[in-house]
Amino acid sequence: MQGPKPFLFAALLGIAGLVQPMAALAQEDPLKWLPPGSRIEMTLSEHPARAIISEQQGGTPGYLARLGELVFRSPLTLGRDAARRGISCEACHTNGAANTSFTIPGASDQPGNVDLTHKEFHFREDDGKFNPVNIPSLRGVRWTAPYGHDGRFPTLRSFSHNVITREFGGPPLDDWLMDALVAWQMEFGFLDGADPFLPGAAYRANCQSCHGDTRQMPPRRVHDVGTGRWVEAPVLRGLAESAPYLHDGSAATVADAVAAHRDMRLTAAEQAEAIADAQRLGMVTRRFDPETLDGDVARLNGFIDLINQQLLDEDGSRADMVGDMVAMEIGRIYRRFDREAAAARGLIREWAKTVARATRLGLDGEHPAARDRLAELRAAIAGDMAQLQAHAAQSLYAAAQVAPDGGEPENGDRQ
């Protein structure tokens, strides 16, 4: 057991101030550090569909973006307090979309809303007010600078730095990890939706200047449209997946959101037409990508490759940091199996031990030996799959077999 990182193991274990073997890391449920009734993960079947730009273009994300995916998903990114509670960027911005069921009683007034400056959430940044906001989707975020509801941050880098250091009170990310985190966010594309179409006259005259359409991004300026806050007009493309609407999630339907705009001088017919166009812009054809055991394990293997890359670079210290994040990923899979599936959990726990052995060797400068351990790990994972599948009934994967959407386009009012 290495000495210099007691915090990390404590965080992994969910036990402050206690150092235990790595093998125990995944046994702890982060929910025990959160108020009863908290929900920080979407169910596996309502997992938002993946829309990664390089994949949409027929390729695959590059090395930096793949590392960024791991950083985005890792609770270690947001500092000690968040790590203990299992909160990562992914918890709120699941698969680059919005976690519409995220709830922390005390800090949320409805699912999908959170007050990041509330004592239930952040012991240091309590502003003494209860003002929860709706978690935004990050689809297409590379095109929507500046960032933050009031557009205070010119770049994804400055916004992400602020989230980590200020909103979560974590230590600043090392540059190489921040580069990766930004690269991953730059990969968030829009979901495939309605074919690009030209909205009607009412929309073009009354809405497009602030909201854009499927071809054109709106200019980013802040407005108070009568909802009590100066905010940027959100892009309406694909909005169907992130109901309820408005910064505080107070509008259940697109029509409610439009009704909240002050000073709209539209006839009833124009308003109906503009709403219909907004709904069409907001349509998505495929909303969910249920998480599966095979999918989780494929992603894990990709992340294990990232440790290998650092070992090829003979950077044992970076390999160790990546290894800790990978251990958290192993913990996710572990927790998806019921306690009764002890045999399955036991196999997965061994994976975490092997990662720890490999990164220990890397820290000792034994890079080739460390890579051999990783090769053994891959073989072990492949060999364990049949047993894990056999226990799938005792896991969350069982409930996620059938996707709840039938592939029909959904507009913002169909939940």
Interaction between residue 135 and ligand HEC (CB under 6 A): yes
Residue from 5, 39, 50, 149 in contact with ligand HEC (CB under 6 A): 149
Closest distance between ligand HEC and the C-beta of residue 76, in Å?
Answer: 11
Interaction between residue 93 and ligand HEC (CB under 6 A): yes
Return the residue matching tokens 């044992």: 316
36-41, long-range: CB < 8 A, 24+ apart: 36/105, 37/103, 37/105, 38/103, 38/104, 38/105, 39/101, 39/102, 39/103, 39/111, 40/85, 40/86, 40/87, 40/91, 40/99, 40/102, 40/104, 41/91, 41/94, 41/99
Instruction: Report the residue number, 51 or 377, with the smaller CB distance to ligand HEC.
Output: 51
* C-alpha angle 189-304-291 in degrees, rounded to nearest 5: 50
What x-and-dash track marks residues 171-200 binding ligand HEC by CB under 6 A? ----------x-------------------
Q: What is the distance between the alpha carbons of residues 309 and 202, in angstroms, rounded to a whole number?
A: 54
Instruction: Report the residue number, 127 or 376, with the smaller CB distance to ligand HEC.
Output: 127
Closest distance between ligand HEC and the C-beta of residue 282, in Å?
Answer: 7
Residue from 38, 74, 103, 227 in contact with ligand HEC (CB under 6 A): 227
Q: What is the distance between the alpha carbons of residues 181 and 5, in angstroms, rounded to a whole number?
A: 23
Residue from 73, 211, 318, 336 in contact with ligand HEC (CB under 6 A): 211
Interaction between residue 133 and ligand HEC (CB under 6 A): yes
Residues 370 and 362 sit within 8 Å (Cβ to Cβ): yes
Q: What is the distance between the alpha carbons of residues 16 and 10, in angstroms, rounded to a whole number?
A: 5
Return the residue matching tokens 């192993």: 330
Asked, as a colleague might, if the bond just before 4 is cis with ω within 30 of 0, I would say no
Instruction: Report the residue number, 211 or 318, with the smaller CB distance to ligand HEC.
Output: 211
Residue from 52, 97, 233, 333 in contact with ligand HEC (CB under 6 A): 233
Instruction: Report the residue number, 201 or 380, with the smaller CB distance to ligand HEC.
Output: 201
What is the CB neighbour count within 10 angstroms for residue 4? 7
**Cβ burial 173-182 (10 Å sphere, 16+ → b, else e):** beeebbbbbb
What x-and-dash track marks residues 98-117 binding ligand HEC by CB under 6 A? ----------------x-x-
Closest distance between ligand HEC and the C-beta of residue 336, in Å?
Answer: 20
Closest distance between ligand HEC and the C-beta of residue 274, in Å?
Answer: 4
What does the binding site for ligand HEC look like in residue numbers (CB under 6 A)?
77-78, 87, 89, 91-93, 114, 116, 133, 135-136, 138, 141, 144, 147-149, 156, 159-160, 163-164, 181, 206-207, 209-211, 223, 225, 227, 229, 231, 233-234, 236, 239, 245-247, 254, 257-258, 261, 264, 274-275, 278
